[in-house]
Amino acid sequence: MTMRIALLRGVNVGGAKKVAMADLKAMIEALGFAEVKTLLQSGNVVFRAGGETEAALETHLEAETEKRLGLKTSYLVRDANQWCAIIDANPFPEEAQAEPSRTLVTVGRNAMPAEALDAVRAVMRPHEKLEAVERQVYAWFGEGMGQSKAAEVLNRKAVKAVATGRNWNTVVKIGALLGV
C-alpha cells in the first residue's frame, strides 16, 4: 500500500464548497483507506491506498464526496514519491525558504496549457516569478498573492485546467505527513 495525498479543489475558500475535515477524514476511512490524516481546512488528505492509479482514485473520491457529503469538487492525487519530486523541483528555493507564504505550487491533472501560462506572464510584475515544471506551476509573488493580478489570473486558469494551488508552508507540511 502506498501513501497518497489528495488535494481538493476550491473547498472552504471564501465560504464556498464547505466541508469539515473530520467529515472528509471519516469518509476516506469508510472507503477502506488507512492511516488517514487531514491538514488545514483547505482540503488536504493523506492516506494509504492500494495500487489504484491517480485517475481512478480521483474519479472514485470525487463520486463518493458528491454522494456522501453532497460536495462536487475535483481531487488531485499524488503519491509520496511524486510529492517529494514536487518539493525537489521548486525553481525558487531561496524565495520559498525566506517567504513560504508568497510561494505557490499549483498542482494540475495535466501540464498547464502554454496559453494559460502566457496569460499569467502578461500581467506579472517585476517582483513575481513563474515557472512550469511537468504538471506543476511554481510561482513567487513578492508582494503577496492577495495583491497580485498574476495570482488572480493563475487561479482562474487553474480552475479551467483542473488544478489547485498550495503555498509552500502547506506543501512542506504535507511532505512531513507523508514522511518525505
Q: What pLDDT does residue 16 have?
A: 65
Query: Taking the model in full, what pTM does it have?
Result: 0.93
Could you give all domains of the chain from N- to C-terminal order, each with its CATH number? 2-79 (3.30.70.1280), 83-167 (3.30.70)
Q: What is the mean pLDDT of the chain?
A: 92
SS3 assignment for 57-83: HHHHHHHHHHHHHCCCCCEEEEEHHHH
What distance in Å separates the CA atoms of residue 72 and residue 145, rounded to the nearest whole number? Answer: 26
What distance in Å separates the CA atoms of residue 39 and residue 55, rounded to the nearest whole number? Answer: 22
Q: What pLDDT does residue 41 have?
A: 76
Residue 23 contacts by C-beta under 8 Å, 6 or more apart in sequence?
69
Question: All 3 cell numbers of residue 15?
Answer: 465560504
